[in-house]
Amino acid sequence: QNPYNISVIQISKVLLSLEAEAQAPVQVNLTAAMSADHGCKVFADTLAANKLAQQTFDDNVRSGLTILCPGDAAMNGYLPRYKNLTAEGKHNLLEYHEVPVYRSIPNLRSNNGGMNTLATDGGKSNYTFTVQNDGDDVTINNKIVTTTIVSTLTDSPPHFAIYQLDKVLLLEELFNSNLAPTPTPAPAPGPEAVAGSPRPSSHRSPPAPPADEPVSSADAPRPNGEEADQNGAAACPRALLVQRFNASI
């Protein structure tokens, strides 16, 4: 039996297997990262008030997530509508602002197209949006709203990133964009139209004359021939009288 050839090499560090290396849990306060002077305090407070949604956010930090939080001005303007949602609607809307994968800005720019969110369930309610480039900007849009990433609040690869949006990502399923538009009333006539319209006359027309009284048959005009016959008939007796008078002389 041949002897073994054994070599010993000295290294500077201990080699650890990936399986043996236990990863320490990532400890991060997401609402604190959005609050304070970061510009998303209203969204952070809204998330903190929904314990179920906040727990879902926290559970995804280790596996990676991207949060798209509306700025304070946008979220303040949306709060009255948010408060009228059902509990499920509020939960879905908050989860719609998180992607369950870490995405850097360069990655978002190079991976345009549809993207799933925490609210995506694969059923009738799709809850996805589309990422697109608009010059140097990255836009997030769906059928009823287009919003832009305006700043990066924090970026901690490979675990999480938080970006601020200029608008709230509205859900089409919660706010129907296909409602019939309210009929627009006809515009009032302008000054020119009013000025050009004829004004009613203040002069009253005289009353219509009374209907002509019927003409009697005696006064009615006769044809010329009939009138000539009567004149001739009237002239005949006079001629006879003249002849008789001359004969008697």
Q: Give yes or no for residue 236 having a pLDDT over 60.
A: no
Q: What is the dihedral of CA 209, 214, 215, 216, to 10 degrees?
A: -150
Q: Phi first, then psi: give them for residue 211, nearest 5 degrees.
A: -65, 140
Average pLDDT over every residue of 124-146: 91
- Each residue's pLDDT tens digit, 30-63: 999 998 778 999 999 999 999 999 999 999 888 9
Average pLDDT over residues 6-27: 65
User: Is the pTM here over 0.85, yes or no?
Assistant: no
> Rounded mean pLDDT of the chain?
76
Please answer whether residues 96 and 171 qualify as being in contact, where contact means their C-beta atoms are separated by less than 8 angstroms.
yes
- What is d(CA 114, CA 146) in angstroms, rounded to the nearest whole number? 14
Say what the pLDDT of residue 180 is. Answer: 36
Q: How many residues does the chain have?
A: 249
Q: What is the pLDDT of residues 140-171, one digit of tens each?
A: 999 999 999 999 999 999 999 999 999 999 98
More confident: 26 or 71: 71
Instruction: Say what the pLDDT of residue 214 is.
Output: 47
Euclidean distance between CA atoms 160 and 141, whole angstroms: 21
**Across 225-236, average pLDDT:** 44
Residue 78 has pLDDT above 70, yes or no: yes
pLDDT tens sequence across 79-117: 999 999 999 999 999 999 999 999 999 999 999 999 999
In order of start, what are the domains of the chain with their CATH numbers? 30-165 (2.30.180.10)
